[in-house]
Amino acid sequence: MWALMEVFAIIRDFHFAGGAVLWTIAANSLITWTLVSERILYYRFGLPQEINRVTRAWFARDDRYSWYAQHIRQRLVAQISLRAHFSLPVIKCLVTLCPLLGLLGTVTGMIEIFDVMNAFGMNNTRSMASGIAKATIPTMAGMGSAIVGLPAYRMLLRYYEIQVQTINDQLSLSTRGAKA
């Protein structure tokens, strides 16, 4: 129990050293990873059910060769694509926002350093060190969050593209194969 409390104390001290911007980066990262986890769970459990539903709906049709049938196939693929792509733009935006928030932390930390230098000159190094921590820690956290979040986003995007192409090919091949 004491070890857990010590871990929380270290995290709390780290966040206070980084300033308010670090809390914003932490909230941004939490939202990002919540959405990434949701997409992973959807791709693992929800998307296969959607693909099966669409495949059954397509093969239940008697007419799969007319112009109208091809538009219905396109609509079915578009429905899957829309659901599978649901939160990917938001994840991309949040990952892109991480380094910008880190830069905001750098600016606010530098402003604090300049305020200390204005008030006390170069003699108060302890207060300047606090400003330096508030300038560097958010930058590091923002870049770290982006470095970890970008591969996760790219993996999800690639999986989305593969699944949409697969269902599109599956329904297209069934149309071409039966017509020949």
> How confident is the model over 94-131, as pLDDT tens digits?
999 999 999 999 998 888 888 888 888 777 777 778 77
The full set of domain ranges for the chain reads 2-47+67-179
- C-alpha span between 29 and 92 (Å, rounded): 12
Give the pLDDT of residue 97.
Answer: 97
3-state secondary structure of 1: coil
CA distances from 23 to 5, 13, 29, 98, 180 (A): 19, 12, 10, 12, 61
CB atoms within 10 A of CB 58: 19
CB atoms within 10 A of CB 98: 23
- pLDDT band for position 176 (cuts 50, 70, 90): low
Nearest Cα neighbor of 57 from 174, 176, 178 is 174
pTM of the predicted structure, to 2 decimals: 0.84
Give the pLDDT of residue 180.
Answer: 43
- C-alpha span between 35 and 12 (Å, rounded): 25
The pair of three-digit structure tokens given for residue 120, joined into one six-digit string? 């006390």
